[in-house]
Amino acid sequence: MTWVLILAAILSYVTLLYRRRGFLAWLIGSLLLLAGLKVAGASGFWVGLGALLVGTLAALFGLKPLRLNLVTRPVMRMMAKMLPKLGETERIALEAGTVWWDGQLFSGRPDWQSLLDFRVNPSNAEEQAFLDGPVQELCAMIDDWQVQQLRDLPPEVWAYLKKAGFFGMIIPKQYGGLGFTADGHSRIVTKISSRSATAAVTVMVPNSLGPAELLLHYGTDEQKQHYLPRLASGEEIPCFALTGPEAGSDAAATQSVGIVEERKVDGESVMGMRLSWKKRYITLAPVATLVGLAFRLKDPEGLIGEAGKDYGITCALIPRDTPGMQIGERHDPMGIPFMNGPTVGEDVWVPLSYIIGGAERAGQGWRMLMESLAAGRSVSLPALSVGATQVATRLVGAYATVREQFDTPIGRFEGVEEPLARIAGLTYILGGARRLTCAALDAGHQPSVISAIVKAYMTDAMRDVITDAMDIRAGAAIIRGPRNLLARMWASIPIGITVEGSNILTRSMIIYGQGAIRCHPFVEREISAIADDRLEDFDQALFGHVNFVASNSARALVLALTGSRITRVPDIDQNGERFMQHLSRFSAAFALASDMAMGTLGGSLKRREKISGRLADCLAWMYLASSALKRFHDEPKSTVNYDLLKWVSAHALYQIQQALLGVIDNLPNRLVAWKLRWIVFPLGARFKPPSDRLGRNVARSILDDRQARQSLTADIYVPDAAEPGLGALEAALDKAVRALPIEARIKEAVREGRLDRAPGGSLDALALEQDIISAAEFALLAEADAARDEVIAVDAFSAEEFVRLR
């Protein structure tokens, strides 16, 4: 009876913690333990001592005045010393944007039904018409090899971009723009990027973080009426000058400065600012007519306020022809010829009215940038990544079917199947992440943490996909020329990895550094209460946090022991439901590991970037996995989609597991690490990467299933058959597929001894002579062979042409 009561106490404690009933867990567990002591015949002394202990704890934690003064206040003082000191720029960055599904993933029990019910609207008719019309026409106009050689887009392409309104996609119609949704904007960039990275970047920048975005949210009415129509029509070409030699990833450290200064203009006194700056890596700067500038504004003489005040980061719009501005030189970013270059200003005087939002917005530039960052970072580079991965999928799927070695399409070799599966699986993930993130933006969310995830992890996945595609195409991938689109994509990859916050910084500092505070249900409340010395608010947050840790400990352990099976998830199908259950388990494990890392490392976690980077990996892969699940739920079910979901599930769960193991293995407090391992992985690390059989099924989907391959790559531009590269390869694939049954009949005749072995074309001729194939079939084989020869050919240049290549 004694052990039954003690076991009941433990089970009650764990179950109630699992259900987030911390106080009931303590109360019922304590009473059952006391009953166990009594039944066991313990002496009155021990039972009394137990009762005294329970009563003391009940009074200490149950009576608010005692708890506040004896428990909460000392803990508050201790945490105040542990927490890192946040500067104003860090605080603004942390407060920017909103929390969405990332908060659910940090909760330990994500609400999957809310994700599945979240509406992802398809592109509207106007956006689809723009994709089918102007975007299609633009892509047809562009010869990316010619762009590479000219080192710029042709004049007619620049003119068309302006005429069709490509520079005004995010500008509302009332100002002459197109007023497209985030999803429509993203799909347009995806399609253009599949044709030319140079054209895509040229379109991306005016529609990303920069003058138009900032004017829409913060500009004065006068500024909006003046600039937005001119930006929408392309009359003004914008750039935004943020990065400088001294301020790269730490953009707030800029040494660009503005000094408040009064001058006479046309005989009247005008309050203005004298600006000096050195900026670099500024896209569109060489051709920009309007420069958005970030700088620190100072007022040493107190002309607009307190003397000597440093207002902080301020944003202003400076016309190109302003005296003192130097602009027009070009950088050469990896040979990709989009416009990018430096700009320098020395004692450039402009009125205070040039500040975006007017003089009253002085010093609010950093907040403006951080609050606007989520939209641009969620759209531009993720869309470019989707375009590149879909092209690679389309390209290598066809090439691995058409290209033969040892009388076998190279896609049939297991060594090629493996990267083909990665290409298809990652392309599926990226398409889902693009779609879900844009839908969140269109629903009014500003998911700052998620925007950092999709920027960093989608560009990293693009790098992996293009690397695999290059390996599959082998020699044909490294010979530059009109036939080789992959080489130009390969060269552009480091640009996406680097800009808008390098991926190393984004992973190790931004995603988890911001996510741990913004997405955690209690940490931000605790920090705020400590900063403002609000004891009662801290008390509520603290004990909510304690209950949260205890609940996630129980939940992570129980789900690990039961194979995640006892958590409830919505009905999709067996594979989708198991995926959600495992992700729920890892959500609890991730939340617990986060709390253990924060609790043991305190403010030093900010500097332990390897640990914070692995925690970022956990959060990122849970989000990417969620987006793939959402895609699977929303799209028609098929055998291919089932296989893709299984591949994504195995790949994502393995990545999350390995990241958590990395955190546990490297926590400095080894006792906590040991306990954490016992809770999170009581049965060991059991998740494995996708199996060879599953990889083969996924690879075959882009080799054999034309419809699946087209569905996976539906967002890209496919040129006509006459064009070298993807267009010719698509045509060759059609011919090769029609020839396959004829070739199979010939091979069967050879195996049966009815036909002697002979090299390619000779064997076809022998088959014709012996009536194994008809004349029409022989002609079809010859046509397929000629098409194969054409698409496996590489470019060559005369000596005169070669020296002129760029």
∠ CA 60-64-69, rounded to 5°: 70
| Closest by Cα among 598, 599, 585, 519 to 555 | 585
- Distance (Å, whole) CA 507 – CA 689: 22
Length of the chain: 806
- Distance (Å, whole) CA 459 – CA 433: 12
Task: Annotate 107-173 with DSSP letters as a single string.
Answer: SSS--HHHHHHS--PPPPHHHHHHIIIIIHHHHHH--HHHHHHHTS--HHHHHHHHHHTGGGTTS-G
* b/e sequence 110-124, b meaning 16+ C-beta within 10 Å: bebeebbeeebeebe
Catalytic residue among 127, 213, 417, 500: 500
Helical packing angle, 726-751 and 760-769, nearest 10°:
60
Cβ contact 523:513 at 8 Å: no
∠ CA 225-226-227, rounded to 5°: 105
- Distance (Å, whole) CA 439 – CA 433: 10
What are the residues whose beta carbons fall under 8 Å from the beta carbon of 719, sequence distance 6 or more?
139, 140, 195, 725, 726, 727
Q: Token pair of 118, please? A: 């979240």
- Distance (Å, whole) CA 87 – CA 253: 12
Owner of token pair 């994502």:
652
∠ CA 210-213-217, rounded to 5°: 130
Regarding beta strands 257-265 and 290-299, do their DSSP bridges make them parallel or antiparallel, or are they unpaired?
A: parallel
| Closest by Cα among 714, 89, 67, 94 to 452 | 94
What are the residues whose beta carbons fall under 8 Å from the beta carbon of 132, sequence distance 6 or more?
none
Confirm whether 222 is a catalytic residue: no
| Closest by Cα among 460, 461, 457, 489 to 473 | 489
| Closest by Cα among 318, 325, 432, 449 to 377 | 449
Instruction: Please give the single-letter amino acid code of residue 175.
Output: Y
- Distance (Å, whole) CA 263 – CA 347: 13
Torsion sign (Cα): 763, 765, 770, 774 = positive
Instruction: Please give the single-letter amino acid code of residue 170.
Output: I
∠ CA 13-562-670, rounded to 5°: 70
Which contacts qualify for 602-608: CB closer than 8 Å, 24 or more apart? 602/82, 602/83, 602/84, 603/82, 603/83, 603/84, 603/85, 605/516, 606/84, 606/509, 606/513
Chain CA centroid to CA 396, Å: 24
Cβ contact 450:101 at 8 Å: yes
Q: Token pair of 769, please? A: 């002579």
Q: Where are the alpha helices (DSSP H) in 562-685?
A: 574-601, 609-634, 639-666, 670-680
- Distance (Å, whole) CA 771 – CA 766: 9
Q: Where are the alpha helices (DSSP H) in 443-534?
A: 448-473, 475-478, 485-498, 503-505, 512-518, 523-531
Tell how many helices (H) and how many strands (E) occur in the chain.
Answer: 35, 9
The set of catalytic residues is: 500
